[in-house]
Amino acid sequence: MEATAREPGSGGVTRRSWASWLLGTSLGATLFAFLYPVLNYLVPPASSEPSLSEFELDLKAADVPPSSGRIVPVGGKPVLLLKNAAGELSALTATCTHLDCTVQYRADRTDVWCACHNGTYDLKGRNISGPPPRPLTPLEVYVRGEKIVVKRA
């Protein structure tokens, strides 16, 4: 037994060196399995900024026509992005405070309306008629370069 174990280069793979090989290889492979995620982790993803309290919209400021409004997703929630006749951008949370339907902008009346139960808000989000008990929350909007950025107040 030992003879085979001890003789180096005795021709043929000895049991001891087979076990050592297995150990070395499996440990090496395991180490690689640990390093693979770590090395990938070090490479930053495409969106290199975490979305913080501000969200850059996939929308250019120039693409929003004046006197219009549209719903955009901001942090997973619907937000009503408005541009008045003078070209100023504003934003309101678009979840109706009555029963959570998504509100819409009405160009003909320049107000914000909820189709579910006829709730109406003004362009600052104040609830002016119908069932909504609370106003919509205004959000800060500004333009950075070409893109529009919405900030959670």
Partner 1 sequence: MSEAKRSSSSAPDPAPRAPGESRLHAWARDRLGWDDLAHLAAKKRVPVHRYTIFYYLGGMALFLFLVQVATGILLLLYYRPSAAEAFESVQYMMADVPFGWLIRSIHSWGANLFVGVVFAHLISVFFLKAYLAPREMTWVTGVLLLFLALGFGFSGYLLPWNTLAFFATKVGTDVPAQIPVIGHLLSRIMRGGSDVSGATLSRFYGIHVAILPAISTLILGAHLLLVQRHGMSVPRSVEGKTRRSISFVPDFLMRDMVGWLAAVGLLAALAAFFPWELGVKADPFAPAPAGIRPEWYFLWMFQGLKYLPAKIFGIPGETLGVLFFGALGAGLLAVPWLDPRGKRGIVVAALVVLAAAAILTVLALLPVPGEAKP
Partner 2 sequence: MRGFVVLLLLSLATPEAGGQAPPKPPPAINGCVDCHTALEDPRITPPAKLFADDVHAKAGFTCVFCHGGDGRQEDQEKAHDPAKGFIGKPKPREIPELCGKCHSDAALMKQYDPSQRIDQLAEYRTSGHGKALARGDTTVAECANCHGAHGIQPVKDSRSPVSPTKIAQTCNHCHGNAALMAAHQLPSDPYEKWSRSVHYRARVEKADLSAPTCNSCHGNHGAVPPEVGSVANVCGTCHVTFADQFKLSPHWEPFKEMGLPGCVACHENHEIVKPTEAFLADGAESKCSSCHEADSKGARAAAEMHSDLVGLDREIRRATQLADRAAEAGMEVSKVRFDLVAATNALTKARADVHLFRPSAVHAAVAEGLKVARGAATGGEARLKERDFRRRGLFISLGLILLSIAALVVRIRERERSTREPAE
Q: Which of 78, 124, 138, 68 is nearest to 103 (CA)?
A: 78
Residue from 1, 3, 13, 43 binding partner 1 (CB under 8 A): 43
CA dihedral 81, 88, 59, 107 (to 10 degrees): 50
By a kind-dependent CB cut-off of 5 to 8 A, residue 58 interacts, out of partner 2, partner 1, none, with: none
Q: Check: CB of residue 79 under 8 Å from CB of residue 112.
A: no
Give, in order, the Cα–Cα distances in Å from 27 to each of 32, 36, 39, 127: 9, 14, 18, 66
Taking CB under 8 A as the rule, does residue 98 contact partner 2? yes
Residue 34 Cβ vs partner 1, minimum distance, rounded to whole Å: 7
Taking CB under 8 A as the rule, does residue 50 contact partner 1? yes
Residue 80 Cβ vs partner 2, minimum distance, rounded to whole Å: 13
Residue from 33, 46, 62, 85 binding partner 2 (CB under 8 A): 33
Q: Check: CB of residue 101 under 8 Å from CB of residue 115.
A: yes
Binding mask 68-97 vs partner 2 (x if CB under 8 A, - otherwise)?
Answer: ---x-x-xxxx-------------------
